[in-house]
Structure 1
Amino acid sequence: MKTNRLILFLALALLVVTLSACGGTPTAVTWPGLAASGDAAYLANGSVVYAVRLSDGQQLWTFPEKPDAKLTFYANPVLTSDGQLLIGSSGGDHSLFLVDAANGQSNWSFSGAKDYWVASPLVDGNMVYAPNADGSLYVFDLTIPGQDKLTDTVQLGGKLWSQPVMAGGRIFVASLDHRIHSLDLKTLKEMNTTFLGGAIAGVPALGEGQLYLGSFDSAMVAINAADGSVAWTTPVKSWIWGGPLLAGNTLYFGDLDGNFYSVNAADGAILDTFKPDGAILATPLFLNGQVIFVTENGSVYSLTPGQSPLSLEKLDAKIYTAPVSAGDLILVAPFQGDALLVALDKDGKQAWTFTPQK
């Protein structure tokens, strides 16, 4: 898919999410969310979240038990320390659910947001920091009994599509209105705001005193966490949708024009570039000394730092979701493919595939 066509597709996908948030019937028109922990993977796909056994790819449960037209799931599920899943819906009721990861039963829900959940929440112990597309960061304390676990609502402005990150007593929240907000962890007071040249949809990477993030103005940027000043900016060929991977002193990321970059985290110098077979939206994965990344054309690549990438697998589908590790397995969630989830071993061979039960 050419870059302009991809941007059009992304715009249409975002429009569908918006319409579903206004009460339309949800369909799996955008790519799924994925997480894994213990012996299961959790796949958010359209109106259902699936739990899949990692040993053989068998379905364990679905949430809800039967599809509900009011619910639409795209954000990556997030596990809490006590074995529960936080799952946000882009459906018409704007619900955030806390689900038992063992059986898929809902233990709690929050319906006070005014828009859809695209970003995953940040979990810190018993505290949850959940950014919503209404421009607010909702803060919950899971130790509070009953339904009312909301402790704070921080209004930040633009739509929030990126999972927050935490470092040095600060919470950093990126928005589609080109801003990075730095909040004091204890007071939630805004300490500083950094304005970039484009929207930020990916999760920032954290280094020693710096945040690294890409934006829709075709640049990778390093920001000093202490004061929000820009340390360096590296222009690239096209939009950066996903967040970068920081491995050692090197950043790895791709752009919508299908370029994959290795960049020195210290000064932003481009160390190497590679042109695979399609656009790159997803954040790479670091596993067993390898950088794993995926393309829109369905390819899974493995890169040994300092060498040329190798193609591990080519799926007959598009891949926009970031790959996830589960032990030695690489989990890939295709879009518009025959299977909803594919598990690859370390050599790139398929261990199993998952297709929902009828």
Structure 2
Amino acid sequence: MSHTMKRAILVLLALSFITSVTLFTFTHRGASNVHAKGVSPNVVPLSDYFGSNNDQFYALEAPHGFLRWSYQYQQGGNTWSPALVVVGKIYFEVANSSSTAVEALSNLDGSVKWSFPFPTGTFGANGIAVANGFIYFAVNSNGSAGSIYALNAKTGSIAWIFTATTSDQSFGNPIVVNGVVYAAEHSSSGGIPQMYALDGSLGSVNWSHEIPVAAGTNLASANGVIYFGGSSALYAISAVDGSSMWSSPVDNGPVSTPTIGTGIIYYASAANFLTAVNATDGSLTWHQPVHKPFAVNVSPALYLGGVYIGSMDLNMYAFKASTGVPIWKHKVGLAITTTAEIKNGIIHVGLINGTLRTLNVSNGILRWFYHTNGTITTSSPPAEG
């Protein structure tokens, strides 16, 4: 499934169910810089960082749900990528109908460190990667060749650009492993898709290799293997040279990024199953049915031997990661539309009506919830400085 299609589905999802909000949402309490109760202004507590389509980006004190600060986008828009926090800065991709940018904010007070606007007429792929002092992301357009950009994380200046060879080629979100940038390319004219491995510092090509199908999900990698979902299978390819290792058939394909555990790969399928396969050969380990679809951006979350996922069937599920045996099922009353993020025994998850709900990881019971008048389309793990 293309990233453009995913954006369209998310927009339709919002219009179909609500008039104001979807996904991770929180109430903006009318202040641009409000510190959590009992927290020093110079100390960064564990926080949720997220953007909204009401032109705002928020920092929420995670343990109790207090608003720390908010930032208004200079050009307006919605945050399509998870926010990544590295060495006191928050990085994310923001887009509106006519422009896209990567932003860097202070995680202390939301002040702008730098902003990098995409070239006119281009758009991103809903994600960024941060490693070794660089920010990596895809820049595509409908009329010219796609590119992978690397920015200096401190200044936002361009470090290098790698561009596809023909105008019909575009890139998905890159990932970075041990200083190597991996990016899947596909052709709008039906050409054979490629996987590229680029030097993270220079942008030079380490290797490129044909892959069986265009990647329909983001990439995931561990132990020298890259995993991604296609239209009808989960694929594993070598991170050393791009050669195919195995494929595991999936009815209608995975709907989101695979999650890598200890010797097991987990994914949500379009056929409404949570599935676990052996990481070595793709053979089935277990699968569990869910009675309604998963939202297109929802991946399984792993935490202390459990796997957690929410569905459009109004339930949050917890299974034993090794066997798939159910641990608990908790009805939250509304469709769950983001990947669960889990920290310190607390699940953070977004609902279709615009509520961020936090649950006990042990039993799914509500801890607290929070609202806003906007939309966030991805979840980010709670982070400290």
- Per the TM superposition, whether the score is higher than 0.5 is yes
TM-score (norm 2): 0.71
Matches within 5 A, 1:7-26: 9-10=9-10
Q: How far has the Cα of 1:52 moved from its partner?
A: 1.1
Cα distance change of structure 1 residues 74 and 191 upon mapping to structure 2, 3 Å threshold: closer
| Shift in alpha-carbon separation, 1:278–1:31, aligned structure 2, 3 A | farther
For residues 233-312 of structure 1, what are the structure 2 equivalents within 5 Å?
Answer: 233-240=287-294, 241=296, 242-276=298-332, 278-307=334-363, 308-312=365-369
Q: 2:276 aligns with which of 222, 236, 241?
A: 222
Contact (CA 8 Å) 2:207, 2:241: kept in 1 or not?
no
Indicate if the aligned counterparts of 2:234 and 2:253 stay in contact, CA closer than 8 A: no
Match of 1:88 among 113, 133, 138: 138
Q: Are positions 1:76 and 2:110 aligned together?
A: no
Q: Secondary structure at 1:159's aligned position in 2?
A: coil
What is the CA deviation profile of residues 150-189 of structure 1, one whole-angstrom value per residue up to 9, with x for unaligned ones?
23223324332433223333222222x1221122332322
In the TM superposition, 1:67-146 aligns within 5 A as 68-81=119-132, 83-92=133-142, 93=144, 94-112=146-164, 114-118=168-172, 120-134=173-187, 135-143=193-201, 145=202
**CA distance 1:111–1:211, change in 2 (3 Å):** same
Which has the larger displacement, 36-45 or 109-118?
109-118
- Separation in 1 of the partners of 2:246 and 2:347? 33
Distance 1:133 1:55 in 2: 39
> Structure 2 CA distance, aligned partners of 1:68 and 1:268?
46
| Identical-pair percentage | 21
Query: Structure 1's 255 and 158: CA in aligned 2 closer, same or farther, altered over 3 A?
Result: farther
Q: Which has the higher contact order (CA 8 A, sep 6+)?
A: 2
Q: Is the 8 A contact 1:36 1:325 kept in 2?
A: no
* Stretch of structure 1 that moved more, 214-223 or 67-76: 67-76
In the alignment, is residue 319 of structure 1 matched against residue 376 of structure 2? yes
Once residues 141 and 174 of structure 1 are traced to their aligned partners in structure 2, the CA distance between those partners, rounded to angstroms, is 24
Residue-pair matches, total: 302
Q: Which runs of 4+ in 1 moved over 6 A?
A: none
**Structure 2 runs not aligned, ≥5 long:** 1-5, 14-75, 188-192
Query: Whole-Å Cα distance in 2 between the matches of residues 234 and 117 of structure 1?
Result: 32
Q: Is the 8 A contact 1:299 1:311 kept in 2?
A: no
Equivalent residue in structure 1 for 2:249, among 195, 212, 233: 195
Map of 1:19 onto structure 2: none
Q: Please name the residue that 1:206 is paired with.
A: 260
In 1, Cα distance between equivalents of 2:239 and 2:269: 25
**Equivalent residues of 2:135, 2:151 under 8 A apart:** yes
Provide the alpha-carbon RMSD of the alignment.
Answer: 2.7
Q: CA, structure 1 residues 50+30, in 2 after alignment: closer, same or farther (shift >3 Å)?
A: closer
User: Given that residues 291 and 304 in structure 1 are in contact (C-alpha distance below 8 angstroms), is that contact kept between their aligned partners in structure 2?
Assistant: yes
Instruction: Give me the TM-score of the superposition, normalised by structure 1.
Output: 0.76
The yes-or-no answer on 1:172 pairing with 2:223 is: no
The answer for unaligned runs of 5 or more in structure 1 is: 1-5, 14-26, 329-358
Give yes or no for contact 2:169–2:186 (8 Å, CA) kept in 1. yes
Show the counterpart of 1:3.
none
Distance (whole Å) between structure 2 residues aligned to residue 154 and residue 273 of structure 1: 43
